[in-house]
Structure 1
Amino acid sequence: MITVEGLRKEYGDFVAVENLSFSIGKGEIFGIVGPNGAGKTTTLKMLSGLVRPSRGTITMKGLDIGRDAVKIKSFLGFLPEESPLYEGMEVDDYLMFFAELYGVGKDVAGKRINDLLFDLSLNAGGKKIGDLSKGMKRKVAIARSLINDPDILIFDEPASGLDPMTSRYITDYVRSLREAGKTVIFSAHNLYQVESLCDNILILKNGRMVTLGTAARIREEFGKIQYRLEFRVDSAEDYGLAELKKAGDDYVIITNDISIINNTTKWVASKGGDIVEMRTIVPSLEEIFLELMGVELFVD
């Protein structure tokens, strides 16, 4: 449905995005993550047609965004991270105004607005946008991006700066869009949200692709599974397999080598000790992301 090939964007001598290539299928939720300045917003703006690539191609539903931008925008919805609203307007009037800009008939628009307000739990009856909370304003912006019933949605940090309850609601709503057959591309700093939502995840650093795939594949490729064993013995003076940590009355060992765990359990048994806990530590997407960005992690 969406194909990106050799995408590059430069501003003078600064290269914001370099040589991105990927494809997105119909009904897929595609996440783009990276630190500040990684090129996420620039990539989304190129996908939405707001910024012209310096090089490369973007095709959506067989249309080239460089030649058919107007046609593509008819089935595209875009939500920027900072989305100013007409705060002096009431919500219904605001959404009807944008429906008219997209050429949506008044009767169709009226029903669509009612459905969106219901689906988003946006009870703003008669209120001006300026009187709404930040979370309610974000819902208005999301409703605006859906007013033309687009097949493809591009959301830049849809839950940015919202309280946990509203953020969770918007996450669930994005998931429901996939169930309705929409294709959703979004960026987020919340890696838990990305991991729980996305079919595929693109990780960027300095405008370049670090990796692309499902959360499971990224975890398999980059994640280092560790094993934690906590045990109790009278004395560990003759323990010679690896360095131990003391945890109260217990001893703890954390290692990537399962054979060390096996040998340690045998040693504990030979000493008449007890195994307090043994568990596998599977890295989260956030932990993998931080390691890929060069942030050193410590596990207790």
Structure 2
Amino acid sequence: MIAAQDLRKEYGEFVAVEGSTFSVEEGEVFGIVGPNGAGKTTTLKMLAGLLDPTAGTAQVAGYDTSETEMRKHLGFLPEESPLYEEMTATSYLRFFADLYDVPDGVAETRITETLDKLDLEHRERQLGDMSKGMKRKVAITRSLVNDPDVLIYDEPASGLDPLTTNYIIQFTEELAAEGKTIVFSAHNLFHVESICDRVAIMNDGEIVARGDLDELQQAHGETTYHVYTTVEVADSVRENGRYRRTVESMSEVEETRTLAQEADGEVVDIRTEESSLEEVFLNVADPGSRSEG
């Protein structure tokens, strides 16, 4: 559904994105994360056809991103999404439905159902009088008014209150369940971890790691074992009537078992703790000093 091959974007001597290659399958949720200046926004804009790559190619829904036909299959949500502030939410969305030649009846149903799912009230209020969260819901509805196959969202919940953020994240999950192909960036790695099938980590314009969460954890994370024994062993602490020793390898788990047996005790529980996406991210991405995405 999305294929990027050796994408590169230069601004004079500055290379914003270098050699990005990845693909996103139909119905997949693909996250792009990285520190400020990593090249996330530039990558998303190239996928959306808003920036021409200096080199490399990108296809969305079978079309080159330079083709006008591609945009009929795409819904794009930029991080900053200015709206026509003197229009109401419904008139604004009807305007965009007309641009996509969506029949009036279909547009009304689609707009109403989407705004209902996003729990947006005061739909006849002028956009200039709406909160940031309300405007974001309108912008998301705009990205769906043409019923696209592919959605590209840049920080969909950026700067929103927790309740609005939750609505948007849940709605993104619903879109994925409906079979939409979604690519998005987010600074909140908990959200990325909760809904993404695969993730690419960018830094200094390059993809430095990619894969599903298990693959990333195995390649760049750490596994910690909490071994509980009935007797005190070396480096253990007392906890709830038993002893806990924290180790980082299975050989140390077996060593703990041996130490417990030698002290006339036994291992009664072993709990595994794996790195979160945030911990993996910190292991592979060193936040740089650039300020542009």
What TM-score do the two structures reach when normalised by structure 1? 0.86
Task: Indicate whether 1:40 and 2:32 are aligned.
Answer: no
Structure-2 residue corresponding to 1:182: 180
Please, which runs of 5 or more residues in structure 1 have no aligned partner? 296-300
Structure-2 residue corresponding to 1:208: 206
Greater RCO between the two (CA within 8 Å, min separation 6)?
Answer: 2
Task: Indicate whether 1:262 and 2:254 are aligned.
Answer: yes
Q: Distance in 1 between matches of 2:85 and 2:238?
A: 57
- Flag the structure with larger Rg: 1
Q: Distance in 1 between matches of 2:92 and 2:80?
A: 17
Task: Indicate whether 1:73 and 2:101 are aligned.
Answer: no
Correspondent of 1:286 among 252, 258, 278: 278
Aligned residue identity for 1:291: N
Aligned residue identity for 1:56: G
Identity %: 48
Deviation of 1:24 (Å): 1.3
Whether contact under 8 Å (2:236, 2:243) holds in the other structure is yes
Task: Indicate whether 1:91 and 2:70 are aligned.
Answer: no
Correspondent of 2:131 among 130, 133, 139: 133
Aligned residue identity for 2:42: T
Whether contact under 8 Å (2:47, 2:60) holds in the other structure is no
Residues 45-68 of structure 1 show CA distances to partners (whole Å, capped at 9, x for unaligned) of 0000111100011122332223x1
Please, which runs of 5 or more residues in structure 2 have no aligned partner? 288-293
Structure-2 residue corresponding to 1:14: 14
Residues 207-233 of structure 1 show CA distances to partners (whole Å, capped at 9, x for unaligned) of 111122111221222222111236686
Q: Matched residue pairs, number?
A: 286
Deviation of 1:171 (Å): 1.2
Q: Distance in 2 between matches of 1:153 and 1:28?
A: 11
Correspondent of 1:107 among 105, 108, 124: 105
Cα distance change, pair 294–61 in 1 and its aligned pair in 2 (3 A) = closer
Runs of 4+ in structure 1 deviating by more than 6 angstroms, as ranges, are 247-251, 273-277
Aligned residue identity for 1:292: V
Residues 14-49 of structure 1 show CA distances to partners (whole Å, capped at 9, x for unaligned) of 111001111111111111111111100000000001
Q: Distance in 2 between matches of 1:80 and 1:181?
A: 21
What TM-score do the two structures reach when normalised by structure 2? 0.88
- How large is the Cα RMSD of the aligned pairs? 2.4
Aligned residue identity for 1:21: T
